[in-house]
Structure 1
Amino acid sequence: MPHRNKRRPLTLRDVSEASGVSEMTVSRVLRNRGDVSAATREKVLTAAKALGYVPNKIAGGLASQQVNLVAVVIPSLSNLVFPDVLTGISAELDDTPYQPVIGVTNYSLSREEAVLYDMLSWRPSGVILAGLEHNLAARAMLDAVSVPVIEIMDVDGDQIIDSAVGISHRQAGRQMAEEILAAGYRKIGFIGTHMPEDHRAKKRLEGFEAALNAAGVTLAAREFYQGGSSLSKGRELTERILQRQPDLDFLYYSNDMIGAGGLIWCLEKGYDIPGQLGLAGFNGVDLLEGLPVRLTTTDARRVEIGRRAARIVAGKEPRPDNGKLALSPHIMPGDTIRSVG
């Protein structure tokens, strides 16, 4: 397995020097012993967090080694996207000594920090985690490890920790906007999650709006929601946005789940799809195969992202030269955009 060219692993001595207390005291704090003053405990924990130090939970005889585990950190198991990513990871690790171990963050950066702290304490042989956005403590921990760290799903960022495998979400948004404009739609609405919670959806919307604006078109309406995606949420939001602005001729959804719900609602209400109203989603999930009308969407390359990330961790392929392995998103044509020509 290729290891990153990083500094030596952090030790108790590093935390001791940074906090100005003895190694024994540092050990007591990190083992949560009660015989340390609150002020000293705070000094030690602050220093350890700033350094990205994570205690080693491996038994003494193995303390200098790593285990054959790959830490895989994802936002959700209920989201239809991530089981496909895990399928790709598992397929590539199946013939290796490595086993994936899953941690779930629920789209919370503080939760990601806690998950990483626990998983890194077992000294995994690699880390695969979703997204490029992390808080300072999580980034410090990831910068401090000497194993491969692969950030997945996204390549739209400049602060890659080690390697990134994913698609450009801005490119995906631009592609869909160009497809919609080419089909003659001009009064376009967007339905998606609140942007602070979904960085990749935010980047898609940025690319989408940039392409619209370049053609002299302004996004006519937006509808945002919090929480998980569902068919019922898609129905609710579609009804709401069309009641508010009935002259819309296209709806772009941030994912296929709410897009499918919106499509079902529109068909029930007798909308002419795609003549009166066009629709598109994102992800290309298998759910779309069961709809009476196929939703146009974008293939986000989920399984391939998982496979390629696992291949890098397992040493089956080299780390990309510039740290980024960008897979190309592509539109999966359906029945919900008018044919051109």
Structure 2
Amino acid sequence: MTQSRQPDIRRPLTLRDVSEACGVSEMTVSRVLRNRDDVSPATREKVQNAARSLGYVPNKIAGGLASQQVNLVAVIVPSLSNMVFPEVLSGISHALDETGLQPVFGVTGYSADKEEEVLYEMLSWRPSGAIIAGLEHTDASRAMLENSGIPIVEIMDSDGSAIDSVVGISHRGAGRQMAEAIVAAGYTRIGFLGSTMAADHRARKRMEGLTEGLAEHGLALVDTELYSGGSALKKGREMTEAILSRNPDLDFLYYSNDMIGAGGLLYCLEKGYDIPEKLGMAGFNGVDFLDGLPMQLATIDACRYEIGVQAANLIAGKDTGGIIGGHRIELTPQLKHGDTIRKS
């Protein structure tokens, strides 16, 4: 694990900032943002555009508390049905125990626009901090986060620049780590199975790292099979059947997550594939349900629980010398060979 800190000083935006940006009075800005109907459409549009561009979020706390923050921590993740994120949330909840801070969860469904909506609503209640999955956001979301005036921790990914603090792993590094294991075991015809890359930035980075790592050994992906929607065992089976039907001589399948990898493993065992001698397989995340499979699927432990704990500790100011903000913590993912990669 590596940890570094960069100083960061921010203040929350005010009505005056919006007023100065659009050239109307603070009272008019307030009327627009409270949805009063005594403002012309042109002025309303001017104010709304300025507020969105700046990242200003109105304060929904009652007047007596308007200058204060509440003891809530906004936690925004792509999914609760995916087995990955509940473990992250568990780490956050555990670390916030007895701190006086309470996590409140929002779900984006891997949609950048939905993330923007959830973030706007959560920040309007002036939480004491925010934990948000990923480093990629819309311009409006980024502006809201940058100007919130509270500690922000982006989690799960360290491949990129952070708004404030970041806790995660290098997904490109994880992809390269898997490439090295594949090459060391003697596999040469590799297929990649994963989600469509537009929404799942971390899967895209793992694929890029895998491709870069293979290229260093003169290898390239033979085929890819991509899907959209939630991960499922059934989907993994279908994808595996499709890619092996097109390319029956593939000797390694790398899945972007353990769920579709487990489905692929079950399919291949039913069809009598010689695993791992003739066909190697690996997933990603290191989820607990892999322990119940007939064979142990190779995977990379993505440090999910520890990411949650570390992120919550930063929000709560634990083990930071009293300094909140500007921290960078990169955890080291662990490769588990399981039973589905040949012994090199």
Pick the TM interval, shorter chain. over 0.9
> Residue 331 of structure 1 corresponds to which residue in structure 2?
335
1:34: Cα distance to partner?
1.6
CA RMSD of the aligned region, Å? 1.3
> Residue 4 of structure 2 corresponds to which residue in structure 1?
none
Q: Given the alignment, which residue of 286, 290, 293 partners 2:292?
A: 290
Q: Which moved more, 1:33-42 or 1:277-286?
A: 33-42
Q: Given the alignment, which residue of 240, 255, 273 partners 1:238?
A: 240
1:322: Cα distance to partner?
6.8
Q: Given the alignment, which residue of 261, 264, 269 partners 1:262?
A: 264
Q: Secondary structure at the match of 1:153?
A: strand
> Residue 95 of structure 1 corresponds to which residue in structure 2?
98
Q: Given the alignment, which residue of 200, 205, 213 partners 2:207?
A: 205
Q: Given the alignment, which residue of 73, 76, 83 partners 2:86?
A: 83
Q: Secondary structure at the match of 1:82?
A: helix
TM-score (norm 1): 0.96
Q: Given the alignment, which residue of 137, 142, 145 partners 1:142?
A: 145
Q: Which moved more, 1:128-137 or 1:18-27?
A: 18-27
> Residue 113 of structure 1 corresponds to which residue in structure 2?
116
> Residue 128 of structure 1 corresponds to which residue in structure 2?
131
Q: Which runs of 5+ in 2 are unaligned?
A: 1-6
1:10: Cα distance to partner?
1.5
Q: Secondary structure at the match of 2:122?
A: helix
Please tell me whether the aligned partners of residues 195 and 203 of structure 2 are also in contact (alpha carbons under 8 angstroms).
yes
1: CA distance, partners of 2:102 / 2:80: 18
1:8: Cα distance to partner?
3.1
One-letter code aligned to 1:296: A
TM-score (norm 2): 0.96
Please tell me whether the aligned partners of residues 314 and 325 of structure 2 are also in contact (alpha carbons under 8 angstroms).
no
Q: Given the alignment, which residue of 31, 35, 47 partners 2:34?
A: 31
1: CA distance, partners of 2:326 / 2:30: 39
2: CA distance, partners of 1:321 / 1:122: 20
2: CA distance, partners of 1:82 / 1:303: 9
Rate the CA distance shift 1:156–1:184 in 2: closer, same or farther, 3 A. Answer: same
> How big is each residue's C-alpha offset from its partner over 1:253-305, in whole Å with a ceiling of 9 and x where there is no partner?
00000000000000000111111110000000111011011100000000000
Rate the CA distance shift 1:322–1:126 in 2: closer, same or farther, 3 A. Answer: closer
1:154: Cα distance to partner?
0.3
Please tell me whether the aligned partners of residues 164 and 325 of structure 2 are also in contact (alpha carbons under 8 angstroms).
no
1: CA distance, partners of 2:201 / 2:85: 16
One-letter code aligned to 1:80: M
Q: Secondary structure at the match of 2:167?
A: strand
1:218: Cα distance to partner?
1.1
Rate the CA distance shift 1:183–1:306 in 2: closer, same or farther, 3 A. Answer: same
1: CA distance, partners of 2:183 / 2:326: 34
2: CA distance, partners of 1:5 / 1:284: 34
2: CA distance, partners of 1:201 / 1:77: 18
1:23: Cα distance to partner?
1.5
> How big is each residue's C-alpha offset from its partner over 1:133-170, in whole Å with a ceiling of 9 and x where there is no partner?
00000000111022110000000003x10011000001
1:7: Cα distance to partner?
3.7
1: CA distance, partners of 2:61 / 2:108: 24
Runs of 4+ in structure 1 over 6 Å off:
319-322
Q: Secondary structure at the match of 2:48?
A: helix
1:323: Cα distance to partner?
3.5
Q: Which runs of 5+ in 1 are unaligned?
A: none
Q: Secondary structure at the match of 1:118?
A: helix
> Residue 12 of structure 1 corresponds to which residue in structure 2?
15
Q: Secondary structure at the match of 2:155?
A: strand
